[in-house]
Structure 1
Amino acid sequence: MRLNENPVARLSRFVEKSFWNALTRRIDGSNIAAVAKDPKDWTPDPVPRIYVPPGAPEQYEYYRRIAESEPDLRLDVQYLPEGEPTAEYVKNLNDKPGLLALAVEEYTNPNSGIKDLRGVPFVVPGGRFNEFYGWDSYMESLGLMVNDRVDLAKSMVVNFCFCIKHYGKILNANRSYYLCRSQPPFLTDMALRVFDRIKAEPDAKDFLRTAMLSAIKEYYSVWMAEPRYDPITGLSRYRPTGLGVPPETEPSHFYHLLLPHAEKLGITFEEFVKGYNNGEIKDPELDEYFLHDRAVRESGHDTSYRLENVCANLATVDLNSLLYKYEVDIARTLRHFFDDKLAIPPEYRTTQNAEKGFESSAVWDRRAKRRKLAMDKYLWDEGKGMYFDYNTVKQEITDYESATTFWTMWAGVASPRQASRLVSEALPKFEVYGGLVSGTEKSRGVVGIDRPNRQWDYPYGWAPQQMLAWSGLIRYGYQEDAERLAYKWLYMIIKAFVDFNGAVVEKYDVTRPIDPHKVEAEYGNQGGDFKGVSREGFGWVNASFVYGLEFLNAHMRRALGACTPYETFSKATAQWASPSWDHPTKG
């Protein structure tokens, strides 16, 4: 330990030099057993298992070779069927859960001189989340690029493109039970940020082309198609297909929900789950419940009273902001880098562009304009000065106040006037001790034994909500607000890091100054279960720390290094700036 090192420098060093390396994975022969290990595998005899898409025969041969040469691994290598996996097929894999193959690259083994394959690396969130996640990877990439780990950010884009090509979507994560489920889409922004850093490299244009082709395919076939697209509003919803009880949850997670159904039939909880999953027990009420539950998980906001029992019907502010960003990014990229005519190879074509075989910017400009008009019509509440989700079944706007309202500023879909209203009307509702809270206490409602806390509700705050809000505020010229919110979030992280032996965790109670890392909601917190010194932190919080420092001026960085609370810092700077203050340098 460096005794004179201030805590900001120390945590920054840990993130850059240790945490990223500790969270980096590859899927190949060197570590297949460790990477395939799944703490969410509740089957009686978990074995390392990998599913390979039919379009990657070289990977199938590679993993078969490993399985045969190292029988003690008990590695089970399986081919997925041709075509889009159905909900029925994915449900049938639940007894044999496994890893989904990602991109590989050819390399020459320095020891043997023999050419072989190795996995393209990716960063995992940490804790129980030991695989390649969707929107976590985008947030992590923002921190990786601050730390000049553009190579890892680029690799994750390559892996996303592999997923879209072979699995039809960016997956919730690369496990078999996620084959029907996506996550919030950030590919265009991620790819453009990486491209900006590698544009002098010889393969940069090809990298950008593949990323845009993949994003266009994903846009059409996932977000603008059944069942996620709502033709009446022209907006999209989180609405994945699937059957049965989500297998990745703890066995007890749905106990209180399902037990009354089992008792009504005079059978045990276990018998009911088996019968329901096998389709022997029909229960439309539960089908509806799990439709929404899967949608909540696809949204990345699992779970929240904003979304419970309704998510699959909601055109959410978050998703439609992201799709607006796709439309704007794709239009701009086609214009600036591909002479406004990007040829679409057969493997990237969908029903929407199969006939013409190319894409140009005018269509995407129109789409962005249409989405903004639809968001203004259905999601914007002029009286309250903020955006809300829209229920496409009830055909009415909802009233849950969520920090996702600020995603509109990140995406650029809010007009300057709307952004001004968001800052004056919405921001005060969400700003607390540690930055932004996920939702307001009023919207969450009363919690207790029968209505427990949900981790994406008040009083919890998450790195993505902070990072997107900072960028959005800067985009519209609200620099002081961005600096203040960044300072509050970073101070809370650094205070917990100093006071609790290096703790850097998945989420925080942003209303709790003493021990914000203590979160009892749902499965608890990730990243805090370590002995001695933290070795990995948590992916997107690591990223938010180094990314957030970029928003602070030198004066703020010094104050943060001295663990100065925002209120103390604010009073001192106000006093310093006051005309009545007798500055020591005045003479």
Structure 2
Amino acid sequence: MKTPDELYPRLFVDVQTGHVFPDSKTFVDAVNKIPVVQINERYNVQKKDPSFDLKQFVLDHFELPDPQNSEFKSDRSLHAIEHVNSLWPHLTRQADDPVKGSSLLALPHPYIVPGGRFGEIYYWDSYFTMLGLNQSGRFNMIHNLVDNFAHLIRTVGHIPNGNRSYFISRSQPPFFALMVELLADIEGPAVFQKYSEELIREHEFWMKGIENISTNLRVVLLGSGTLNRYWDNVDIPRQESWIEDLELANEMESDDENKLFRDIRAACESGWDFSTRWFMDRSNMKSICSSQIIPVDLNALLFCLESILAKSFEAASDSRSEHFHHLADKRKELINTLLWDQELDIYQDYNFVHRSFTKVPSAAMAYPLFANMASQDQAMSVRDYIMKHLLRPGGIVCTNNYSGQQWDAPNGWAPLQWIVVKGFMNYGFENEAREVATRWVRLNESVYASTGKFVEKYNVEDLELEAGGGEYPVQDGFGWSNGVYLALKQFVSV
């Protein structure tokens, strides 16, 4: 499927570099009113007219995207739980009809979008949204979401960042196996067999190139074994943030723009776009080096994928279970040695080019606890570090770095709260888990009481201030915040 820059080569560049819209995502999400060929023909002729108006041309030939919940009016007399439950229909999109020339990848079943400027499904967001759908009893939608992701694996070869053509070159944190596990808890263990081939293809995507490690992909050879990194198959500016990427490249002293674009895209695959986790120089985004880093969270999630494959094949008396048990055991061993910082006694990301830890402790250290792969001593040490250094009045902060990036201090995000709480509970740290969950729930309810909204991210340090950072304004809606709120509200109420 062609991307917007391939469909409209000249028009795309002119619109994005001409700042026709405040948000670079607007044009790439627009839907053509007439065939692509006709638009290009008209543009090539009309742009030569001295009175030509580029924005008007776009408005005449494209339907622009609407904010996804722009018509929703919040009723602040409702309790927060009732508010979230009332939001689900407004965040629901029906099965798509394919439109030739649109960037949207049509999905065969209804789905949930995050809200705001995000009018498509997002991979890792959806797992945390499902947690709330589960609490709301919307089991059918959970099934639909899993089916949609299975469809993307079958048709695209992997789950893209989101269902847009310009997202196909990258994925997001691999939560599909955990989605299948959640659905199996609802519908029964036969679910694992139903999606076994898609789970294998998901694993193959992340392990592609293992036969030839010199190939630049997502597998990295590290002494006695392999671990994974985030990557993107493309090294040009992001379609949806075209001008932002070009402007950053123009500030560089070196001419290695392609590496910059690749590392920006790899950070987007991580979901943490952006954070000092990925920077050599914490004050300078131009030092981004995401593709050099072995991330704790990615590898813990791949351990989950391999473990779930092993267990599902074992239940089916399938001999492939032994292979995946071996892969999971080997990955666990490498994570617990290579990614364990013995000085700080925590898990850290590892820069395999510089052969050293990145020295940016982050909430990602909780993922091995979430994956149940740490020893009890390791888990206790991680718990102590998080409670001492990352816990804030409103919950868990991403990192302790104040960079202005949205995945750094003072911001907290719903998925990280869930990962920490679930990780703590896996090791019996119930008091600490309840403390984190209670702080986050209170913050969510406080912001809702004052604004009538659930938002994408929260300031967990100053509870009176809105979260900031990032390439766009704070979005409301918001899928994963709704989902984690409902799940943690249930947890603290028990």
TM-score range, shorter chain: 0.7 to 0.9
Aligned to 1:43: none
Change (3 A) 1:243 1:381: closer
SS of the residue 1:234 aligns to:
strand
Aligned to 1:23: 91
Aligned to 2:256: 285
Is the Cα contact below 8 Å between 2:154 and 2:198 reproduced in 1? yes
1:516-541 deviations in whole A, cap 9, x for unaligned?
x34254312001xxxxxxxxx30000
- Quick one: which of 419, 430, 442 aligns to 1:491? 442
Change (3 A) 1:238 1:306: same
Aligned to 1:434: 394
Aligned to 1:559: none
| Residue 371 (1) aligns with residue 331 (2) | yes
Aligned to 1:112: none
SS of the residue 2:491 aligns to:
coil
Aligned to 1:193: 182
- Quick one: which of 224, 236, 245 aligns to 2:237? 245
SS of the residue 2:298 aligns to:
helix
SS of the residue 2:195 aligns to:
helix
Change (3 A) 1:260 1:466: closer
Q: Distance in 2 between matches of 1:333 and 1:152?
A: 23
| Residue 12 (1) aligns with residue 81 (2) | yes
Aligned pairs (5 A) from 1:175-194 = 175-194=164-183
Is the Cα contact below 8 Å between 1:292 and 1:311 reproduced in 2? yes
Letter in 1 for 2:471: E
Q: How many residues are paired up? A: 404
Q: TM-score scaled by structure 2?
A: 0.78
Deviation at 1:397, TM superposition (A): 1.9
Aligned to 1:254: 245
Change (3 A) 1:213 1:518: same
SS of the residue 1:100 aligns to:
coil
Aligned to 2:420: 469
Sequence identity, in percent? 31
Is the Cα contact below 8 Å between 2:193 and 2:312 reproduced in 1? no
Q: What stretches of structure 2 of length at least 5 have no aligned partner?
A: 1-74, 210-214, 280-287
Deviation at 1:396, TM superposition (A): 1.9
1:370-393 deviations in whole A, cap 9, x for unaligned?
111111221101221111111122
Which aligned runs of 4 or more in structure 1 are off by greater than 6 angstroms? none
Aligned pairs (5 A) from 1:299-448 = 299-308=270-279, 309-336=288-315, 338-339=316-317, 341=318, 360-441=320-401, 444=402, 447=403
SS of the residue 1:19 aligns to:
helix
Aligned to 1:512: 462
Change (3 A) 1:196 1:164: same
Aligned pairs (5 A) from 1:68-217 = 76-77=99-100, 98-102=103-107, 104=108, 120-199=109-188, 205=190, 207-217=191-201
Q: Distance in 2 between matches of 1:469 and 1:240?
A: 28
Deviation at 1:551, TM superposition (A): 1.6
Is the Cα contact below 8 Å between 1:188 and 1:211 reproduced in 2? no
Aligned to 1:523: 472
Letter in 2 for 1:552: V
Q: Distance in 2 between matches of 1:254 and 1:224?
A: 28
Q: Distance in 2 between matches of 1:434 and 1:295?
A: 29
Change (3 A) 1:520 1:242: closer
SS of the residue 1:440 aligns to:
coil
Q: Distance in 1 between matches of 2:310 and 2:358?
A: 31
Deviation at 1:179, TM superposition (A): 1.1
1:427-470 deviations in whole A, cap 9, x for unaligned?
311000110000113xx5xx4xxxxx000011110000001111
1:227-282 deviations in whole A, cap 9, x for unaligned?
1001224100001210321111163x235424457xx9xxxxxxxxxxxxxxxxxx
Q: Distance in 1 between matches of 2:367 and 2:227?
A: 16
Is the Cα contact below 8 Å between 2:297 and 2:367 reproduced in 1? yes
Q: Distance in 2 between matches of 1:505 and 1:250?
A: 25
Q: Distance in 2 between matches of 1:154 and 1:439?
A: 34
Aligned to 2:34: none
1:19-45 deviations in whole A, cap 9, x for unaligned?
11111112335xxxxxxxxxxxxxxxx
Is the Cα contact below 8 Å between 1:433 and 1:488 reproduced in 2? yes
Is the Cα contact below 8 Å between 2:455 and 2:475 reproduced in 1? yes
| Residue 231 (1) aligns with residue 224 (2) | no
Aligned to 2:39: none
| Residue 298 (1) aligns with residue 280 (2) | no
Is the Cα contact below 8 Å between 2:245 and 2:261 reproduced in 1? no
Letter in 2 for 1:100: L
Q: Distance in 2 between matches of 1:236 and 1:319?
A: 7
Letter in 1 for 2:423: G
Change (3 A) 1:6 1:480: farther
Q: Distance in 2 between matches of 1:550 and 1:438?
A: 24
SS of the residue 1:550 aligns to:
helix
Change (3 A) 1:481 1:284: same
1:173-202 deviations in whole A, cap 9, x for unaligned?
010111111000011111111112112xxx
SS of the residue 2:416 aligns to:
helix
Letter in 2 for 1:437: V
Letter in 1 for 2:484: S
Aligned pairs (5 A) from 1:541-580 = 541-553=481-493
Deviation at 1:415, TM superposition (A): 1.0
Letter in 2 for 1:503: K
Is the Cα contact below 8 Å between 2:410 and 2:467 reproduced in 1? no
Change (3 A) 1:328 1:518: closer
Q: What stretches of structure 1 of length at least 5 have no aligned partner?
A: 30-49, 51-75, 78-95, 105-119, 265-282, 342-358, 448-452, 528-536, 555-587
Is the Cα contact below 8 Å between 1:434 and 1:489 reproduced in 2? yes
Deviation at 1:296, TM superposition (A): 0.3
Q: Distance in 1 between matches of 2:325 and 2:160?
A: 27
Change (3 A) 1:260 1:435: closer
Letter in 2 for 1:490: V
Deviation at 1:208, TM superposition (A): 2.7
Is the Cα contact below 8 Å between 1:438 and 1:461 reproduced in 2? yes
Q: Distance in 2 between matches of 1:412 and 1:524?
A: 36
